[in-house]
Structure 1
Amino acid sequence: MFARGETVVQLMERLAPKHYAEPEDKIGLQVGSLRKEIRKALIALDVTPEVVQEAAAAGAELIIAHHAVIYRPLAHLQTDTPAGALAADLLRKDIAVYVAHTNLDTAEGGMNDWMAEALGLEGRGVLREVHTDKLYKLVVFVPKEHAEAVRSAMFAAGAGWIGNYSHCSFNLEGTGTFMPREGTDPYIGKQGKLENALEVRIETIVPQSAHKAVVSAMLKAHPYEEVAYDLYAMDLKGRSFGLGRVGVLPEAESLDVFAERVKAAFDVPFVRVVGEGGKPIRKVAVLGGSGSRFIRNAMFAGADVLVTGDIDYHTAHDALVAGLSLVDPGHNAEKIMKTKVAEWLQLRLREQGYATEVLASQINTEPFRLR
């Protein structure tokens, strides 16, 4: 059985929820339709004509990309322009394009965590906080003999976390009353008769990012035809998510040695370096994509170096004067997401029993070359 496009995207949004995206970021479905079976999905950094040909040759009906295929506003869709021709080719080949950009950057276990892991950083934290997961209190009333099954289903879906403590809940036994009316199919009791049932009131914490999955799991595990439950917004701060990561190397090393580490980690032929080659590097900030506007965040975090792409001339001078070293592996270093997303999504599809295959694009979309 192959997953439909909507299902593939729902699983992808478990990794990179859409509400993590920066305002005005161009994410989500950009071309085509998800209302079809997906035999193969291709994970790509960029959507170029070569990537579209690769997807078509592989038989992929869906491309999941990091960078938007439609980013700047289009005044028209003329097929004799590069943007129009690309869109027309996708539509002609019936290949949909779904984009996960800053929501994938921000996500726990997403782009910036992958980059920090590749560099061997330990004790990682967020470079710039951009989102805090709201917390909700979920209260549900369950027949006593089903309480454990419902609790387990909610915990497995992401409920019950308080800090580093998992499986947190409060449980209170009591008597529930109800009268099944005409047209009902009650699990307990008979139509037209007032019923008293021994129930457990289960209370647990649910983060915004998981509340749909938790409620769905709870309803599926609950034996009642009509489930009595409440979901309350709480005035408490949950986990913080953000762009970039800060961590430390196991041991200090010189800036020049660290630059070689960056080249190897992101499989790039060269890096641009700002700072003295012998400077000791221990605390590292890393940010995928264009990170010039994160210089102050890296300095405030006490980083010895910031690893990011697209550093401009004047920003490099500002960092040099401030004593912050820079290593720029280019924007294309984000290609690390291709295999990571493919592996993550393939595993989730297999867990759901789907035969859909997820491929990592082999096309190098780096636009620059050295002479």
Structure 2
Amino acid sequence: MTTVADAAAAVERLWPISGSEAWDAPGLLSGDPSATVTRILLAVDAVADTVDEAIDVGAEVLLVHHPLLLRGVTTVAESTAKGAVLARLIRGGCALLAAHTNADIVETGTSARLASLLGLQDAVPIVETAPGVGLGRVGALPEPATLGALARRLAGILPPTATGVRVAGAFDRAVQTIAVCGGAGDSLLGEPAVLAADAYITADLRHHPASEAVESARVAGGPALIDVSHWASEWLWLETAAAELRAELPGVEVVVSDLRTDPWDFVVVQ
């Protein structure tokens, strides 16, 4: 018999909490450690839709990438979004686990998955914390491509979202060395490996960091920028995570949610 505690231990073996950032809050958030587990649902976010899906499919564990209580919370009243989510999970007998920055840095983590799907060769962390472990990945395409072709290929790999793929750079610019960071990655814009790349793919690029990077590239060189959906860039990792969990927990069914939890519904192109 597999328990919630066993599932949490498997998550710890695959993505040790010791590898998480100091500000992060992964691990077991709610649930009875002694409860039996036969099915686990994986999703990027613990939101009303994915919680309902977990309950509906009979999952005893919802494993998400983004911790629900990452920021300070003073109430879990059901009149709040987070309180309602927790109450639904508890009443439905479904535990909540999270693997966040501890799952980003490992050799098969979020950025490594994106680099692999792009076919990047000899990919290594942008910021290495141990051999083969660290934030982001940088590697080379097998052959040079145009920036436009790379963006189109990326659009075909990612699940569709309203905001699609945004690019700063000439469509026909030649690129081969590519840096990637699943999720929000503007904190890595100044890293030497990113500055030396031909293009940098990440999510949540804010106006000022992106503008400064573009202007700096005109003076001192730097990568073209490709901005994608935060959710989409990390959803790709769920299949890898599911395969690893199945190996760790034989006899437990592990399912990946196809629900889109990107917050945007549509865009008006001007």
Structure-1-length-normalised TM-score: 0.67
CA offset digits 1:184-221 (Å, max 9, x no partner): xxxxxxxxxxxxxxxxxxxxxxxxxxxxxxxxxxxxxx
- Alignment partners' CA distance in 2, 1:334 and 1:26: 17
The code of the aligned residue for 1:267 comes to P
Corresponding position: 1:328 with 2:227: yes
Is the alpha carbon distance of 1:348 and 1:276 closer, same or farther for their aligned partners in structure 2, counting shifts above 3 Å? same
- Alignment partners' CA distance in 2, 1:311 and 1:34: 38
For structure 1, the residue ranges without an aligned partner over 5 or more in a row are 133-238
CA offset digits 1:41-66 (Å, max 9, x no partner): 11111011111111111110101110
Corresponding position: 1:262 with 2:150: no
Match of 1:340 in 2: 240
13-22 vs 304-313, which deviates more?
A: 13-22
Aligned with 1:249 (options 137, 141, 144): 141
Shift of 1:81: 1.6
SS in 1 for 2:179: strand
Match of 1:42 in 2: 41
Aligned with 1:303 (options 194, 197, 200): 197
Q: Summarize the alignment of residues 120-269 of structure 1 with structure 2, pairs less than 5 Å apart.
A: 120-129=119-128, 131-132=129-130, 239=131, 241-269=133-161
Note if contact 1:299-1:324 (Cα within 8 Å) is conserved in structure 2. Answer: no
Shift of 1:250: 0.4
Moved over 3 A (4+): 298-301
SS in 2 for 1:78: coil
Is the alpha carbon distance of 1:329 and 1:300 closer, same or farther for their aligned partners in structure 2, counting shifts above 3 Å? closer
CA offset digits 1:269-298 (Å, max 9, x no partner): 520101111110100000011011111115
Corresponding position: 1:280 with 2:174: yes
The code of the aligned residue for 1:345 comes to L
SS in 1 for 2:180: strand
277-286 vs 318-327, which deviates more?
A: 318-327
Match of 1:349 in 2: 249
> What CA RMSD, in Å, does the superposition of the two structures yield over aligned residues?
1.5
- Alignment partners' CA distance in 1, 2:194 and 2:155: 26
Is the alpha carbon distance of 1:18 and 1:43 closer, same or farther for their aligned partners in structure 2, counting shifts above 3 Å? same
Corresponding position: 1:363 with 2:259: yes
The code of the aligned residue for 1:366 comes to D
Percent identity at matched positions?
32
Bigger Rg over Cα? 1
Structure that is richer in strand per residue: 1
Corresponding position: 1:29 with 2:28: yes
- Alignment partners' CA distance in 2, 1:15 and 1:108: 10
The code of the aligned residue for 1:319 comes to A
Shift of 1:362: 2.0
- Alignment partners' CA distance in 1, 2:204 and 2:192: 16
Shift of 1:338: 2.0
- Alignment partners' CA distance in 1, 2:194 and 2:146: 21
The code of the aligned residue for 2:235 comes to K
SS in 1 for 2:102: helix
Shift of 1:34: 2.2
The code of the aligned residue for 2:238 comes to K
Shift of 1:240: 5.2
Match of 2:70 in 1: 71
Structure-2-length-normalised TM-score: 0.91
Note if contact 2:195-2:223 (Cα within 8 Å) is conserved in structure 1. Answer: no
The code of the aligned residue for 2:236 comes to I
- Alignment partners' CA distance in 2, 1:301 and 1:34: 45
Note if contact 1:246-1:301 (Cα within 8 Å) is conserved in structure 2. Answer: no
Match of 1:201 in 2: none
SS in 2 for 1:70: coil
Shift of 1:94: 1.6
Is the alpha carbon distance of 1:65 and 1:300 closer, same or farther for their aligned partners in structure 2, counting shifts above 3 Å? closer
SS in 2 for 1:347: helix
